[in-house]
Amino acid sequence: MTIRDEALERAKELDIRLEAHRAQVRVEPPKRLFSLLRAYLHRYTEESGIQTNVYDLIKIHGPDSGGLAVIELGPQIDKGPTPEHFSPPPERALASGSQYETEESILSSLLTAFNSTGMRALHASSCDGTGTMTH
Amino acid sequence: MNRFAQGPAFEIARRIELRGSATWVAVIGSHSTPEPSELERLCAELESLTNRQTRVLSVAGREPLEIREVLESPPDDIVVVYGFESFSQEDWQALDIHRDVLQREGPVVFWLSKKDANTLCRYAPNLRSLIGRSFFELGPEGGLMTEQERTKRLQVLAEHYGLTDQEVIRRAQAGELPRDPEFAEWLVLLGRGDLV
């Protein structure tokens, strides 16, 4: 087996593990999660001293009849800093958008994120029901 | 008092967060008894911003001592108190005299109709004084994406991928749409979350 074949094999295994992890993530219903996210970002901006009104930046659309909602923070296509971006301090990374899917009232989430170096990454996110969020 | 400051639930929650414990706030809703969705929205914002458990208490038909007992179990969470539509002038005066039953470690949020608020101000002056200027009319929910914002986001996606909304729907129906999150967003914004 070549190095390339091994890398592909490892990538496939990683995909399977990530998918399994994502399927296990349970979060609050969309509007409740939106409140938690907004409160989290509000505290984050206060603690970080960021001059941003997060209430103007974070938006929710939905949920629709199927229970799907989109929570947006900043532009969905990243072309560099704009006033619509949420700009955390350089050493921190934050989610920029998320989609939710529901299955028998159980929701899973996937966040798309831009970290401080501009690289796009995927993060699973969960809320433990007490308002504490983990990334 | 006929005019109240208007604010969405998160603004009211922020004020409570800033003031900390033992805060009294009056929220003016459309009716004395809130709609379940209104209560849910307010409680969600209160819990999210303050990290305190929030519960609701209807005072309808309850004696002051009973109210105190419920408020003290536990004493430090946030309690949204409602059900004042049955309160007569005498009931407000009695509650004003026995206002100590409402004093506790955690915040108390009075859910009132405009009529309740005016009656409170008229017949319970000490309660009014304790609430101070913290009478807030519950405003529209903040954070909802406007139609203009939705359209703009769809335009950005269309320009970036060089696809029309119709083409995205067609590809989703054919199972040919990439699994990238942007396409899921695209479909939800088009009201076609069923294709995600």
B196: chain A residues, CB-CB within 8 Å: 68, 99, 101
Please indicate, yes or no, whether residues B134 and B155 belong to a single structural domain of this protein.
no
CATH number for the domain that contains residue B56: 3.40.50.300
Single-letter amino acid code for the residue at A124: A
In sequence order, the 6+-apart residues with CB closer than 8 A to the CB of B76 are B21, B52, B104, B105, B106
Residues B101 and B185 in one domain: no
Which chain A residues contact residue B144 at CB under 8 A? 59-61
Same domain, B133 and B167: no
Question: How close, in Å, is residue A73 to chain B by CA atoms?
Answer: 11
Find how far residue B45's CA is from the centre of its chain. 6
**Domain count of the fold of chain B:** 2
| pLDDT tens string A80-89 | 777 777 776 6
ipTM of the modeled complex: 0.77
Q: Do B180 and B111 have their domain in common?
A: no
DSSP per residue, B99-165? GGGG--SS-EEEEE-HHHHHHHHHH-HHHHHHHTT-EEEE-PPS-BPPHHHHHHHHHHHHHHHT--H
Residue B171: which H helix or E strand, with range? helix B165-173
**pLDDT 10s per residue in chain B (196 long)?**
557 788 888 888 888 888 877 889 999 988 888 888 888 889 989 998 888 999 999 988 888 788 889 999 999 999 999 999 888 899 899 889 988 888 899 999 999 999 999 999 999 999 999 999 899 998 887 888 999 999 999 999 999 999 999 999 999 999 998 877 788 889 989 998 888 8
DSSP 3-state of B167: helix
Amino acid at residue number A30 = P
- DSSP for A16-80 reads HHHHHHHHH--B--HHHHHHHHHHHHHHHHHHHT----HHHHEEEE---TTS--EEEES-SS--S
Looking at the structure, do residues B131 and B157 belong to the same domain, yes or no?
no
Q: Which chain B residue has the Cα nearest residue A69?
A: B188
Residue contact B41–A97, C-beta within 8 A: no
Closest-approach residue (CA) in chain A for B195: A66
Of B14, B45, B145, the CB nearest to A72: B145
- For chain A, give every domain's residue range: 26-134
Put simply, the answer to whether B41 touches A31 (Cβ < 8 Å) is yes
What average pLDDT does this structure show over A56-77? Answer: 82
Distance between B106 CA and the closest CA of chain A, angstroms: 17
Q: Which two tokens stand for residue B21?
A: 């414990």
Which of residues B138, B155, B178 is at a domain's end? B138
Answer yes or no: do B42 and B128 share one domain: yes
Q: How far apart are CA B179 and CA B125, in angstroms?
A: 61
- Among A57, A76, A114, the strongest candidate for a mutation testing the B interface, having the largest count of B CBs within 10 A, is A76
Tokens of A95: 């989610």
Q: Tell me if B145 and A59 make a contact (CB, 8 A cut-off).
A: yes
The sign of the torsion formed by the CA atoms of A102, A106, A107, A108 equals negative
CA–CA distance, B156 with A78 (Å, rounded to integer): 11
At A95, is the secondary structure helix, strand, or coil?
strand
Cβ–Cβ under 8 Å, residues A46 and A64: no
With residue B41 as reference, give the H or E element that holds it.
helix B36-50
Same domain, B94 and B161: no
In a domain, B104, yes or no: yes
